[in-house]
Amino acid sequence: MQPSIYRNPSIDFFGLRVDEPITMLTDLLVTVVCWFAFRQLGKMRHPLPVGKGSIHRLLRGYFLTMGMATLLGGLIGHSFNYALGIHWKIPGWYISMFSVAFLERASIFHTFPLIRPRLAQFFAVLNIVELLFFLIISVATMNFYFVMGHAAYGILIVTGGFQGFVFFKTRHEGSKQFLRGVITATIGALFFVNEWAIGVWFNHMDIAHVTMALGCWFFYLGGKKIVEKPLESATESTELTPQS
């Protein structure tokens, strides 16, 4: 990947060189939002019933790992990568891909009462297969665009598709918030891919991180609604019985 003309200039912080300082700070903004969401979801007194608790765990797993990924991305992937080398980007890349897989899987599980059991199982297995594919190809090529490709597929296609399906069927408030998050994240991705920037001190990566933080906030609001009101209680039970 070629370096961007809009990359933040390095700064000297009490004798310590810090590359891409604003990009680091906007990465850490995502970390703060995600870890706040992780903590708040953990405090909820009414988790999903037996058999649905895995959605609650997957959502918390998403926020925990995305917070870790952006923390590593900001510090190791951007600000101090000059002292470590490109291969130190891999831990953040891998954790972020697992994180997106958690979000996909939570959305797939949320849809289970509405689809055939065999179809539900197919998507659950496909979720693992596509994660393994992107894990391998991203490191084999050392190209961040495969990490972006996995995020685009996982958030726009899988999460957006399944949550859109649930919202179309049930008008579930949680799915509506998820769709807002998907739209916000997609806007950020467009800024990143096209390198649309205000300038070197607020570039395409900084804009993408801010929109990502907002998208994570919508995912948190959606996750709260899903935990508070599981899909079975969103519509009449006759509509939610899986087809045989």
Residues 93-133 have pLDDT tens digits of 999 999 999 999 999 999 999 988 888 889 989 999 999 99
H/E segment holding residue 12? strand 11-13
Judge whether residue 151 has pLDDT over 50. Answer: yes
Query: What is the predicted pLDDT for the residue at 235?
Result: 43
Quick one: DSSP state of residue 14? T
CA 44 – CA 27 distance, rounded (Å): 27
Long-range contacts of 207-211 (CB under 8 A, 24+ apart): 209/23, 209/26, 209/27, 209/29, 209/30, 209/70, 210/26, 210/29, 211/184, 211/185, 211/187
What is the rounded average pLDDT for all residues in the chain? 88
Judge whether residue 207 has pLDDT over 80. Answer: yes
**In the chain, domain spans:** 18-232
What are the pLDDT digits (tens) for 158-189? 999 999 999 999 999 999 999 999 999 999 99
Tell me the two tokens of residue 129.
Answer: 């297969």
Residue type, 195: E
Query: What is the predicted pLDDT for the residue at 244?
Result: 34
Query: What is the predicted pLDDT for the residue at 236?
Result: 42
- Percent of the chain residues topping a pLDDT of 90: 69
- Quick one: pLDDT band at residue 4, thresholds 50, 70, 90? low
What are the pLDDT digits (tens) for 131-142? 999 999 998 988
The arrangement of secondary structure in 18-232, i.e. its CATH architecture, is Up-down Bundle (1.20)
Question: Which of 9-13, 66-70, 227-231 is predicted least confidently?
Answer: 227-231
